[in-house]
Amino acid sequence: MSTSAENENPDTATPEARGLSQGQLVRKRFFGHTAAVISMFVFAGIVILAFTSVGYAGIPGWYQWNYIETPPIQGRGEPTWELPFDFGQHPFGQDSVGRDMFAMTMRGAQLSLIVMFIIGALGGILGVIIGGVSGYFRGWVEAVLMRLTDTVIIIPLIILAAVLGTISQTMTGRGTIANAIFGGSDGVVLLGLFVGVIIWTGLARLVRGEFLSLREREFVDAARIAGASDRRIIFKHILPNAVGVIIVNTTLVMASAILLETALSFLGMGVQAPDVSLGSLISDNQQAFTTRPWLFWWPGLFIIAICLSINFIGDGLRDAFDPRQKKFRAKKAKDTRASSSAEAKA
Amino acid sequence: MNPLLAIEDLRVSFGSGLGRRHAKEVLHGISMSIEAGETLGLVGESGSGKTTIGRAVLGLTAASGGRIVFDGQQISHLNMAQRRKLAKNLQAVFQDPYTSLNPALTISDVLSEPLIAQGSGSSEARTVIADLLDKVGLPSDSARRLPREFSGGQRQRIAIARALALDPKLIVCDEPVSSLDLSTQGKVLDLLIEIQERTGVAYLFISHDLAVVRHISHRVAVLRGGHIVETGSARQVTSEPEHAYTKQLLLASPVADPIAQKERRERRSRLTALDSPSDRLVKDA
């Protein structure tokens, strides 16, 4: 810092410092992350495809079959899709009773996405509230909440989820209250809620750590001296500075949630027949792996695509939010250096 | 006349949460006072408890004993609503202008914080903010900008503006210039002095730098290991110190002349040798 910096008019500040708000900087950095941007489009494509093709909640889709109809099997039921654009009757093939594989995969993707969002939202909200409250108020509140977190952490997630998944099966189905509330996808909604209730622990610990460090910062002291209330300090000073950690880790929780749902359905404790999820499709068709591999490929492909794209989006968000992340600036410096050396040559 | 701030036998301990048995006392009965419109400089080495005194006055650290009386009111054990009322008269400027401003808020949000907490409307706050920016010598379009867009000296001006927003009677300045370079230090100090002349605010000015303290203070208190070892007028303490520790402190600040510096170093080591062994133990610990 020099004398000239002290007298400098903000208007003549460096381009990096001028004008860009925190949000604009984050957006700029995120859109500079190629993998994240591609993943965002892939993910959006999957969501649109899954929900428009077979329809959702009684709204019909544009695809000719649904996931329950059993049209006559054509040939061995192999995919009729001939590259590039000749889709035929059953582009992804048919299973042993003739159900259309594309329709089933789309339905499975729908349920997996619903579960993922419910788990992400619920886990995120619980994690932020529990972590934030214990990090900000400390004392006995923190002791109780963090011991609760430890207790949930020591129970193996897959066992807890399996038990809750089985409970959710008995609580749902035709004629139950849950069915009336959530419509056709009651089982999967309950499953999501149950898993969301146990998956918040990692996020709670991270948010607590973030709150612990932010509450000791001088700007929080300054706000306290100015007479700001706890509510104002939390929502105006601490939460906006912790939002990066929260968004990034919620995204990563969602990625692991979709795998957890798949694992549960594979073990037979998730979504129940005749409904399908990506995990249950793989589970049902594992014997067909050598004879009719397409029954196995498509759901697997979609699991991988969803998981990878969510992970890359989370990655891009982390890079965009992390202020210690120097990649953006380093790349820029390299660009300027390259251009200046090019000028020197010329 | 009663002093504006009177600290009587202030004790502060930090320690383990369990039973307070292993609590370590860092302030061992501090007594001092500040008159209205006066600057009290508080000097001492790292760990001597200067910042702790400031934080205790501001209510950020709980006192374990003694009294702090501000404007006739005992303030060492206030609840939140009483603190908020007190905020009108007691404000602070912190050491590091890079962490004392919330990076997510614009300058106008930063400056309106104390005003809104005291219940002013937003249009009222806007006129006050323009006035404040003018007072600390920043362009009025700064209000829409983020802290990131300002240099360290400018940020410290913003922090001073925030402290002035409620027109307080006392500002606790916790090393407000120690993270700035020398020429910027001078400007910020001159700004503080000018504000004092104009508004009659009192400062509790905490610093480890005797030259800075001499420049701004009316009276100086020297702190060592949680005790006040010497109090007096700024001129007396910084030119004819009585206590051996203050003399050491004076000789510890280097001078540009190598020959004079060598002589100072020798005088200082002679003084240190005169120290009692127990004193040195305290210092080493």
Interface A:B, Cβ pairs < 8 A: 99
User: What pLDDT does residue A184 have?
Assistant: 55
* Amino acid at residue number A92: F
Tens of pLDDT, residues B217-266: 999 999 988 889 889 888 888 888 888 888 888 877 777 788 888 888 88
**A12 inside domain:** no
Nearest residue on chain A to B159, alpha-carbon basis: A222
Domain count, chain A: 1
Give the domain extent around A51. 23-65+110-334
Interface of chain A against chain B, CB under 8 Å? 1-3, 5-6, 8-10, 13, 17-18, 21-22, 217-219, 221-229, 232, 236-237, 240-241
- Ordered by start, the domain boundaries in chain B are 5-240, 254-285
In chain B, % of residues over pLDDT 70: 93
The domain that holds A117 is classified in CATH as 1.10.3720.10
Q: What is the pLDDT of residue B158?
A: 92
For residue B172, what pLDDT band results from cuts at 50, 70 and 90? very high
CB contact under 8 A, A227 and B118: yes
**How far is B285 from B280, CA to CA, in rounded Å?**
8
Tell me which residue of B54, B263, B285, B259 sits closest to B172, measured CA to CA: B54
| Structural domain includes residue A260 | yes
Q: Which of A14-28, A85-99, A252-266 has the lowest mean pLDDT?
A: A14-28
Report if residue A93 sits inside a domain. no
Residue B193 has pLDDT above 50, yes or no: yes
pLDDT of residue B284: 44
Q: Does A134 map to a domain?
A: yes
Kindly report which listed range (A78-82, A207-211, B95-99, B110-114) carries the lowest average pLDDT score. Answer: A78-82
Give the nearest partner residue to A6 out of B118, B149, B187, using CB atoms: B187
The pLDDT confidence band at residue A8, using thresholds 50, 70 and 90, is very low
Q: Quick one: which of A63, A74, A187, A199 has its CA closest to A126?
A: A199
Domain presence at residue A2: no
Q: Of the ranges B9-23, B114-128, B167-181, which is most confident?
A: B167-181
Query: Is residue A235 in a domain?
Result: yes
Do the Cβ atoms of B162 and A226 come within 8 Å? yes
pLDDT above 90: residue A145: yes
Could you give the C-alpha distances from A219 to A176, A284, B101, B154, in angstroms and in order?
Answer: 52, 57, 5, 16
Domain for residue A237, yes or no?
A: yes
Confidence of residue A3 (pLDDT cuts 50, 70, 90): very low
Which comes out higher in pLDDT, residue A74 or A216? A216
Residue with the two structure tokens 């419109």: B37
- Whole-angstrom Cα Rg for chain A: 25
Distance from the A136 Cα atom to the nearest Cα atom in chain B, whole angstroms: 15
Q: Is A126 or B179 the better-scoring residue by pLDDT?
A: A126
Mean pLDDT of chain A: 78
Q: Does domain B5-240 have CATH number 3.60.15.10?
A: no
pLDDT at A330 over 60: no
**What separation in angstroms does the CA of A256 have from each of A128, A248, A251, B8, B192?**
18, 13, 9, 59, 55
Q: Which of B88, B118, B181 sits opposite A1 (nearest CB)?
A: B181
Residue A278 inside a domain? The answer is: yes
CB-CB: which of A8, A221, A227 is closest to B87? A227
pLDDT in tens, A172-216: 655 555 555 555 556 677 778 888 888 889 899 999 999 999 998
Q: Rounded CA gap, B61 and A88, in Å?
A: 75
CB within 8 Å: A225 and B159: no
Question: What is the reported pLDDT for A171?
Answer: 67
Sequence-distant (6+) residues with CB within 8 A of A314 are A248, A251, A252, A254, A255
**pLDDT value, residue A23:** 76
Lowest pLDDT segment from A136-150, A275-289, B130-144: A275-289
The pLDDT confidence band at residue A9, using thresholds 50, 70 and 90, is very low
